[in-house]
Amino acid sequence: MKEAPVRVLVIDDESAIRNVIRVGLEAQGLSVALAADGAQGLGKALEFHPQVVILDLGLPDMGGLEVLRRLREWTSVPVIILTVNDDEPTKVRLLDAGADDYLTKPFGLPELLARLRVALRHHHAAEATPVIETGDLRIDLNQREVRREGRVVKLTATEYAILSRLARQAGRVIPQSQLLTEIWGIHSADQSHYLRIYIAHLRKKLEKEPSAPRHILTEPGVGYRFG
C-alpha cells in the first residue's frame, strides 16, 4: 500500500513565499495547505490535520507567537517559525513558546527541507488532531471540552492542563517532573504531591473505577501515561 504523503501547513502572508514553498514541497511529494493569516491558519490546522506547520512570525491579523500559543493548546505537532529577526532574545522567546525550530528570512529551500526532515524524525510524523477518543472518553482539545459517556465533565483549569498534556502524547510516559514544571513552573519539579492530588481528582471524574484506572495510568517511579 502506498504511504500517504506528509501534510505540511504553510502560514505566511506573503503570497510569493507561500507559492515558492508549496512548489518546492510538492516537488518532494509532500501535501501542502496554504494560509495567508493567523485565523485562516488556525482553521486550516483543524481541517487539514498537518504533520508539520511552517509559521511566519509577522502576520497581518495576529502575531505568529499568538498563533503558536493557540496551536500549543491542543497539539504538539512540530512548528517551524519563519522570521526576519535572528537576535538571541527572539530565538529564546520562540523556543519557550513551543516552537521546534526557526529559519531566518531569506532562506533556501534545501535548508527548509532539511529542517522538515529533522522535525518529522523527532515527532514520528504525528498529526494535529484536536479530538481524542478512547473508550468512553472524548477530549476536544480545540473546544477545551471533555465528555464521558456523552456527558460533559467539568474540570478545573489545572485538571484540564494536566489531562490535555497527557492526551496530546497518548501512549507515551510523561515524567512527573516534566508535568510539574510545565503546569506549576520550574520551581515545582520536586513537589510530586501536587500532581498526585490532581491525578486522583481526575480519576474520580473520568474513570469508572478510580482505584483501577484505564485512562490515566501510573508508571511507578517515572510518571504518568494516558491510554
Residue 65, number of CB atoms within 10 A of its CB = 20
- Where do runs of H (alpha helix) occur along the chain? 15-27, 38-48, 64-72, 88-97, 109-123, 157-168, 176-184, 192-206
Residue 38, number of CB atoms within 10 A of its CB = 23
Residues 170/134, Cβ–Cβ less than 8 Å? yes
Residues 48/33, Cβ–Cβ less than 8 Å? yes
Question: Between 3.40.47.10, 1.10.10.10, 1.10.760.10, 3.40.50.2300, what CATH number should domain 131-226 receive?
Answer: 1.10.10.10
Question: Between 3.40.50.2300, 3.30.365.10, 1.10.3720.10, 3.40.120.10, what CATH number should domain 7-123 receive?
Answer: 3.40.50.2300
Residues 183/164, Cβ–Cβ less than 8 Å? no
- For every one of its 227 residues, what pLDDT tens digit does the chain have, with 9 covering 90 and above? 346 788 999 999 999 999 999 999 999 999 999 999 999 998 888 888 888 999 999 899 988 888 998 888 777 788 999 988 777 787 777 877 888 888 888 899 999 999 998 888 766 545 556 788 888 999 988 778 999 999 999 999 889 989 988 887 778 888 888 888 777 776 777 788 889 999 999 999 999 999 999 999 998 888 899 98
